[in-house]
Amino acid sequence: MQMRGRVRLFNDIIGTGYLEPEDGSPVLKFSYKDIIKPGYQLLYEGQTVNFTIRNTARGPLAVEIYPDCID
């Protein structure tokens, strides 16, 4: 299921971050490997994104992250 949210934090040095879903569900961790866009896989705090949730042994993760364009 595709969801929408905002980037709460992204550390480009270690390549992980957190997304805050718009529906008020708990904050989700993600990896730069799950960002789908051309070029450098970078997100900015407050940027809106679409993503999917995958349940793993370590808990839910945000995957298939499609960022909105920033002008």
Per-residue pLDDT tens over the stretch 33-60: 999 998 888 999 999 999 999 999 999 9
Per-residue pLDDT tens over the stretch 10-40: 999 999 999 999 999 999 999 999 999 988 8
The domains of the chain are located at: 2-67
Tokens matching residue 24: 């008020």
pLDDT at 38: 86
Task: Report H helices in the chain.
Answer: none
Residue positions counted in the chain:
71
Reported as a pLDDT band with limits 50, 70 and 90, residue 70 is: low
Q: Which superfamily does CATH assign the domain made up of 2-67 to? A: Nucleic acid-binding proteins (2.40.50.140)
Distance CA 37, CA 29 (A): 18
Residue 7 is which amino acid? V
Q: Determine the Cα angle at 48 with ends 9 and 43, to 5°.
A: 45
